[in-house]
Amino acid sequence: MGRAPCCDKANVKKGPWSSEEDAKLKEFIGKYGTGGNWIALPQKAGLKRCGKSCRLRWLNYLRPNIRHGEYSDEEDRIICNLYASIGSRWSVIAAQLPGRTDNDIKNYWNTKLKKKLLTMPSYLQEKQTFFSSMSFQPPPPSYNISSHQILNNSSSCYNSFSTPNFMNVDNMSNSFFVHDDIHNNLTNLQSPTPLANNLMSNNSVDVVNDNCLSYLGFQDGHYGMCNSPMLMYGSTCSSSEGGNYNKDHEQKQKYQIKQEDYHITLDNQVVGDQVQSQSSMIKNHATLEEVKQLNLTSYLFHDDEENKTAHYKKGMCSNYY
DNA sequence: AAGTTCAGCAACCGCATGATC
DNA sequence: GGATCATGCGGTTGCTGAACT
């Protein structure tokens, strides 16, 4: 019945690891690997630690190719975009940043990145009025993006009109579903973030794939890597039921973003009152503000048309308004 | 110089999920 | 099929050193 207990909690050491312990663990794993059994590992390695603790120490600190220190702007963007799309799924975010650990990214977000976003210059905040004043149209009942398209820098990015399912937005239940292509599972990401809540409450969806880009006018399929999701504030990125792209072509025009000024086509219902009410709503959700601000920097740092397109193509700068 | 506050980060804790018996 | 445990994950805590008073 069941398995043996994980460890004798009374006889395990807690607290910071000594260099001797690090060396023992490193040496043991170097020689024998983890053996797929973290619980038995500390005893075998001569460590008075819980297997969980060993695993954490290895994954977050001792493992080869771990990167510590400064994060690049690109890493910031990836973290922000993914956070906005999937929330605090640090392990998923970490998977997109080689050498970074989920713990590291989590700490970085909580201690630095969030603050960095909140201390953006005021001119950026003024721009927020523009976004908070948008109103949106709901996407079609089924909109999907392949998890592989977002989570892997894979060539599947180029044929997504017929390859469904990463994020399925269910307007009726106000939920996101993530489809795991490998295991063929649907995971409910109900209200993953305040951002997602806000977006959904505005009948919008924050997703990325070729379809979105096609709405932006980049329909040639040469916009490069899809290794970071693109937030589409106020836009509707939709595919047709059953992946029939052409069916939605007419509807698409309604939402198409004007490339000339990088504005999203706005709904006519936007009036002063609505602007105010939505602005105050956003005030209550720092995360939304934060992420939007970060993405705004993409716009401001690359403000000529050529650069924007170039960055799109590189997958470097995924958010223009 | 001593005490206090703050920021950064490593490590722990508890929960969810899946595997095993 | 249910009980038990391993694993992985995200949230939280607490230690440490720097900055400030």
The rounded mean pLDDT for chain A is 51
Q: Are A179 and A168 in contact (CB under 8 A)?
A: yes
| Distances in whole angstroms, Cα of residue A157 to Cα of each of A33, A201, A222, A227, A248 | 35, 28, 10, 9, 20
| CB-strand contact A111/B, under 7 Å | yes
| CB-strand contact A52/B, under 7 Å | yes
The single-letter code of the amino acid at A5 is P
pLDDT digits (tens, 9 = 90+) for A103-162: 888 888 888 887 777 666 544 444 443 333 333 233 333 333 333 333 333 322 222 222
Residue A240 lies in a domain: no
In the 123-142 segment of chain A, residues within 7 Å (Cβ) of strand B are: none
**How far, in Å, CA of A181 to CA of A314, rounded?**
25
Residue A88 lies in a domain: yes
pLDDT digits (tens, 9 = 90+) for A266-279: 222 222 333 333 33
**How far, in Å, CA of A185 to CA of A195, rounded?**
24
| CB-strand contact A98/C, under 7 Å | no
Residue A90 lies in a domain: yes
Q: Which nucleotide's C1' sits nearest to the alpha carbon of A180?
A: B17
| Distances in whole angstroms, Cα of residue A76 to Cα of each of A25, A94, A117, A136, A290 | 32, 12, 10, 27, 12
| CB-strand contact A17/B, under 7 Å | yes
Task: Single out the residue in A119, A136, A151 at which a domain terminates.
Answer: A119
CATH number at residue A87: 1.10.10.60
CB count within 10 Å of CB A165 equals: 22
Residue A53 lies in a domain: yes
Q: How far is the CA of A88 from the C1' of C11 (A)?
A: 10
Residue A180 lies in a domain: no
| Distances in whole angstroms, Cα of residue A155 to Cα of each of A29, A122, A290 | 35, 39, 31
Residue A262 lies in a domain: no
Question: Are A53 and A25 within one domain?
Answer: yes
| CB-strand contact A107/B, under 7 Å | yes
Nucleotides of chain C touched by protein CB (<7 A): 2-12, 15-16
Q: Are A82 and A229 in contact (CB under 8 A)?
A: yes
Residue A11 lies in a domain: no
Q: Residue A100 belongs to what domain range? A: 73-119
pTM of the predicted protein model: 0.52
Question: Are A56 and A81 within one domain?
Answer: no
Q: Which of A160, A30, A152, A161 is nearest to A96 (CA)?
A: A152
**Quick one: average pLDDT of A28-32?**
86
Question: Are A56 and A89 within one domain?
Answer: no
A100 versus A198: which is more confidently predicted? A100
Residue A142 lies in a domain: no
Q: How many distinct structural domains can be found in chain A? A: 2
